[in-house]
Amino acid sequence: MKFLILNGPNLNLLGRREPEIYGKRDYAALVAFVKECCASAGAECEVFQTNHEGVLVDMIQGALETGVDAIIINPAAYTHTSIAIADALRAVEIPAAEVHLSDINARESYRHISYAGEACVATFKGKGFDSYRDAIEFMAARLAGK
């Protein structure tokens, strides 16, 4: 089982960007946490972060060539603006789960829409790093047919 974990803009600033919303742990801690969760679920993973929308689209499309079984994506601000990311997720037809550290529905009204989420089989939000764990466990169970 192979997962592609994609993280969008500003997640590289975890720990210093609005810690009251996103927590005090940094991006390196998130990557370590995600890798540990994937290993516990019996999955290999590649974890990637970029601040550029087109790079996320390229990574999603590239998943077709790398044997990825599932995509877990935190599109960050692109959640609310990127039809291109949603279209790429639909085009590759690889099951995807959307993840958010905060509960986007409990925040500003402009954050309530998720274009990417409409192209995903599930959304996990509002639990900090544990949102990633829940998404990884969900996708592992889904792929195992449970």
- Residue ranges of domains in the chain: 2-143
Residue type for position 2: K
> For this structure, is 52 an active site residue?
no
Instruction: Say whether domain 2-143 belongs to CATH 3.40.50.9100.
Output: yes
Report the side by side order of strands in the sheet with 70-74.
Answer: 44-49, 2-7, 70-74, 96-100, 122-125
pLDDT at 22 over 70: no
**For 81-129, where are the alpha helices, taking DSSP H only?**
83-92
Residue 22 is a catalytic residue = yes
pTM for this model (two decimals): 0.92
Greater pLDDT, 82 or 107: 82
The per-type count for the chain, helices as H runs and strands as E runs, is 5, 5
Please tell me the distance from the alpha carbon of residue 118 to that of residue 134, in angstroms, as a whole number: 18
- Tens-place pLDDT, residues 37-80: 999 999 999 999 999 999 999 999 999 999 999 999 999 999 98
Active-site residue, from 78, 100, 115, 132: 100
